[in-house]
C-alpha cells in the first residue's frame, strides 16, 4: 500500500480557559490517500476547526503526530504540500481572478510562463476563462468560490483542506461547486479533506467521519 498523503495519529488538543483546561480533541487518527476525498462532520464545538488547524500545521497538537507525505509539517513545506478553500473565499479585492489564482504560486516563487498557463487552464476548467480579468466584486459568490478552488490547485498541492467551502452559497450553486471540487481533486490525484455541517455534501466523499464531543 502506498504511503498516505496525510496522516494524523492519536491527536489530542487542550486549551486553557482561565484556570480550566478544556479538552477539544482526544485520540483522533486519520489517513488520506492521493485522490481520495474525506469528510469530517460534527456539532459546533466538537473540534472541527481545531482539527483543521492541526492538519494544516497552523497549530501543534499536545499529543500525537501529523505527517505530510511521510514528513512533519513545516511552514516551508506548506506552500507546496497544501491548498486551502475557505467559506469566505478570501480573495484579494484589488486583484483580478487570474491574479488571485496566481497568489498561491507566488508563495513558492515568482510565477513564470508555466504558472500562468496553469492558472489560465484552471480558470477555464472551472468555467471562468472569460472572467479572468474581473475583480472579485464583479463576480458572483459561486464564481468567487470557483476562483478560490483554482487558487488552491494552481501550485499542484498533494492535499486540499476545505473549511465549509459552500456555506455562503445557495443550494444549487453549492452542489455545482462541490461536484467540481471533487472532480478536479480526483483528476489531479489530490487528497481532499472537507469539514462541513452539510450531510448531503459529506455523503459524496469517499469516506466520512464524525467528531463527537
Model confidence pLDDT, tens digit, residues 97-145: 999 999 888 877 777 888 899 899 999 988 899 999 999 999 999 999 9
The predicted structure's pLDDT at residue 155 = 87
Q: Domain range for residue 189?
A: 6-211
Asked, for residue 105, whether it belongs to a domain, the answer is yes
Whether the full predicted model's pTM is greater than 0.85, yes or no, is yes
Residue 167 lies in a domain: yes
The CATH number linked to 65 is: 3.40.50.300
Residue 197 has pLDDT above 90, yes or no: no
For residue 27, being part of any structural domain is answered with yes
Q: Which of 79-83, 91-95, 103-107 has the lowest mean pLDDT?
A: 103-107
The count of other CB atoms within 10 Å of the CB of residue 14 is 14
CA–CA separation, 62 vs 212, rounded Å? 19
Tell me, what's the pLDDT at 206? 93
The angle at the Cα of 29, spanning 25 to 34, to the nearest 5 degrees, equals: 130
**Residue 26 forms part of a structural domain:** yes
User: Is 126 inside any structural domain?
Assistant: yes
Q: How many domains is the chain partitioned into structurally?
A: 1
The predicted structure's pLDDT at residue 87: 83
Instruction: Say what the pLDDT of residue 1 is.
Output: 46
Using one digit for the tens of pLDDT, what is the confidence trace for 12-69? 999 888 788 888 999 999 999 999 999 999 888 788 889 999 999 999 999 999 999 9
* 1 assigned to some structural domain: no
Cβ atoms within 10 Å, residue 130 = 9
Q: Among residues 133, 193, 137, 189, which one has the least CA distance to residue 160?
A: 193
Highest mean pLDDT of the ranges 11-20, 88-97, 160-169: 88-97
Q: Out of 144-148, 184-188, 200-204, pick the least confident.
A: 184-188
Amino acid at each position: 500500500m502506498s504511503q498516505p498523503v496525510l496522516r494524523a495519529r492519536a491527536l489530542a488538543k487542550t486549551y486553557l480557559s482561565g484556570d480550566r483546561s478544556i479538552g477539544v480533541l482526544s485520540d483522533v487518527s486519520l489517513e488520506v490517500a492521493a485522490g481520495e476525498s474525506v469528510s469530517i462532520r460534527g456539532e459546533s464545538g466538537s473540534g472541527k476547526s481545531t482539527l483543521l488547524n492541526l492538519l494544516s500545521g497552523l497549530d501543534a497538537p499536545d499529543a500525537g503526530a501529523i505527517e505530510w507525505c511521510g514528513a512533519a509539517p513545516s511552514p516551508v513545506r506548506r506552500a507546496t504540500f497544501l491548498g486551502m478553500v475557505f467559506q469566505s473565499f478570501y480573495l484579494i479585492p484589488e486583484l483580478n481572478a487570474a491574479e488571485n489564482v496566481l497568489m498561491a504560486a507566488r508563495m513558492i516563487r515568482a510565477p513564470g510562463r508555466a504558472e500562468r498557463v496553469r492558472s489560465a487552464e484552471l480558470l477555464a476548467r472551472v468555467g471562468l476563462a472569460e472572467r479572468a480579468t474581473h475583480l472579485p466584486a464583479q463576480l458572483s459568490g459561486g464564481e468567487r468560490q470557483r476562483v478560490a478552488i483554482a487558487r488552491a490547485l494552481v501550485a499542484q498541492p498533494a492535499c486540499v483542506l476545505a473549511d465549509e467551502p459552500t456555506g455562503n452559497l445557495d443550494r444549487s450553486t453549492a452542489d455545482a461547486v462541490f461536484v467540481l471540487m471533487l472532480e478536479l481533486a480526483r483528476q489531479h490525484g489530490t487528497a481532499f479533506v472537507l469539514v462541513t455541517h452539510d450531510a448531503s455534501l459529506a455523503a459524496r466523499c469517499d469516506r466520512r467521519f464524525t467528531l463527537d464531543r
